């Protein structure tokens, strides 16, 4: 059992049972990871877990204070972390961050393109700024991240080492949910992108994966402006034993820890009690 890092800010479920206690040892020793959306929720938990398992981790998101606090926790637990405040919708900023990561930590072999936003509303409400925000971050932000790191992944793979491109999609990619049109569209893009990228990157031994979580207890619903949708999500969070960010983090860590010839491509992870 690996030693946990200093106390994290994440909530625990009722049983205190976290999937983050399953993987043992340091299977990610020697790996260099980049996590986008690392200032909260799934990204923050994943950055911490990858570091616990031995990876050096670059944390990208916009909130500098949150990134630095997470990096300090990682360093306090004996890990290596680099906080790089970056807006991933800014292509030049992501390219600059990639240069910094390579210079400070070495060639990147694990990319978790996770930053995303969910702004659900009825299409007739014409919340076009919310549409753009989701497309710009959930799709273009991921493409900017891929642009910045795919060469590194290919080079590492050509040297015979594991290389992973992992995205965060959602069950919304496949479910038909009212008001979710644009968000679901962005996540369907990511799930299908995974299948398509594998045709090119798989033969170069770069693994491509996506996780499709159901309800995870994070800040994600806090940004929703539609009051009905906010209530729906708050109710669901109250009613069922939702996933914690650590559960998804452990899944991402597992994807990266399996032997190099094994590509877990699309993983749906739901709270057991979530019916839809």
Ligand X SMILES: NC(=O)c1ccc[n+]([C@@H]2O[C@H](COP(=O)([O-])OP(=O)(O)OC[C@H]3O[C@@H](n4cnc5c(N)ncnc54)[C@H](OP(=O)(O)O)[C@@H]3O)[C@@H](O)[C@H]2O)c1
Question: What residues act catalytically?
Answer: 183
Instruction: Give the nearest distance from C-beta 129 to ligand X in angstroms.
Output: 14
Instruction: Give the nearest distance from C-beta 220 to ligand X in angstroms.
Output: 4
Q: Which of 61, 208, 224, 249 binds ligand X (CB under 6 A)?
A: 61
Burial (CB count <10 Å: 0-12, 13-18, 19+), residue 123: exposed
Q: Does residue 114 contact residue 42 with C-beta atoms inside 8 Å?
A: yes
In the bound state with ligand X, the residue whose beta carbon lies nearer, of 155 and 269, is 269
Among the candidate windows 12-20, 72-80, 81-89, 195-203, which touches ligand X by CB under 6 A?
Answer: 81-89
Does 252 help bind ligand X (rule: CB under 6 A)?
A: no
Q: Which of 35, 70, 88, 206 binds ligand X (CB under 6 A)?
A: 88
Strand ranges for 135-264 from DSSP E: 164-168, 207-213
φ, ψ for residue 209, nearest 5 deg: -140, 155
Instruction: Give the nearest distance from C-beta 215 to ligand X in angstroms.
Output: 5
Rg value, the chain, Cα:
18
Instruction: Tell which residue, 23, 92, 98, 89, has the closest CA to residue 58.
Output: 98
Cα–Cα dist 78/95, whole Å = 28
Q: Which of 34, 42, 81, 166 binds ligand X (CB under 6 A)?
A: 42
User: Token digits for 190?
Assistant: 């990511």
Among the candidate windows 32-40, 152-160, 199-207, 251-259, which touches ligand X by CB under 6 A?
Answer: 32-40
Cα–Cα dist 36/86, whole Å = 9
Q: Which of 68, 87, 226, 266 binds ligand X (CB under 6 A)?
A: 87
Does 168 help bind ligand X (rule: CB under 6 A)?
A: yes
Cα–Cα dist 260/228, whole Å = 45
Q: Binders of ligand X among 212-251, rule CB under 6 A? A: 213, 215-216, 218-220
Angle between helices 245-257 and 41-52 (to 10 degrees): 50
Q: Which of 8, 36, 152, 191 binds ligand X (CB under 6 A)?
A: 36
Instruction: Give the nearest distance from C-beta 232 to ligand X in angstroms.
Output: 12
User: Please, which residues have CB within 8 angstroms of residue 206's CB and are 6 or more apart in sequence?
Assistant: 150, 153, 154, 157, 163, 164, 165
Q: Binders of ligand X among 97-126, rule CB under 6 A? A: 114-118
Among the candidate windows 23-31, 62-70, 104-112, 145-153, which touches ligand X by CB under 6 A?
Answer: 62-70
Instruction: Give the nearest distance from C-beta 108 to ligand X in angstroms.
Output: 17
Instruction: Tell which residue, 255, 246, 243, 127, has the closest CA to residue 183.
Output: 127
Binding site for ligand X (CB under 6 A): 36-43, 61-63, 66, 87-89, 114-118, 137, 141, 168, 170, 213, 215-216, 218-220
């Amino acid at each position: 059992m690996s030693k946990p890092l200093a106390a994290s800010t994440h909530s625990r479920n009722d049983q205190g049972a976290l999937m983050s206690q399953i993987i043992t040892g340091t299977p990610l020793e020697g790996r260099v990871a980049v996590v986008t959306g690392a200032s909260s929720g799934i990204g923050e938990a994943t950055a911490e877990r990858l570091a616990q398992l031995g990876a050096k981790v670059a944390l990208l998101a916009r909130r500098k204070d949150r990134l630095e606090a997470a990096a300090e926790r990682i360093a306090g637990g004996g890990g290596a972390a680099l906080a790089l405040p970056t807006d991933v919708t800014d292509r030049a900023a992501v390219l600059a961050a990639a240069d910094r990561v390579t210079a400070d930590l070495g060639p990147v072999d694990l990319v978790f393109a996770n930053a995303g936003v969910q702004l659900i509303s009825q299409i007739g409400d014409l919340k076009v700024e919310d549409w753009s925000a989701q497309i710009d971050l959930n799709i273009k932000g991921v493409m900017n991240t891929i642009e910045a790191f795919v060469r590194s992944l290919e080079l590492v793979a050509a040297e015979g080492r594991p290389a992973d491109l992992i995205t965060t999609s959602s069950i919304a990619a496949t479910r038909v949910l009212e008001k979710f049109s644009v968000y679901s569209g962005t996540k369907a893009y990511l799930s299908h992108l995974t299948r398509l990228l594998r045709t090119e990157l798989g033969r170069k031994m770069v693994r491509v994966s996506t996780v499709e979580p159901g309800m995870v207890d994070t800040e994600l619903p806090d940004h929703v402006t539609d009051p009905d949708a906010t209530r729906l999500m708050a109710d669901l969070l109250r009613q069922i034993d939702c996933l914690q960010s650590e559960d998804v983090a452990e899944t991402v860590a597992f994807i990266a820890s399996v032997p190099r010839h094994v590509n877990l491509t699309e993983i749906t992870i739901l709270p057991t009690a979530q019916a839809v």
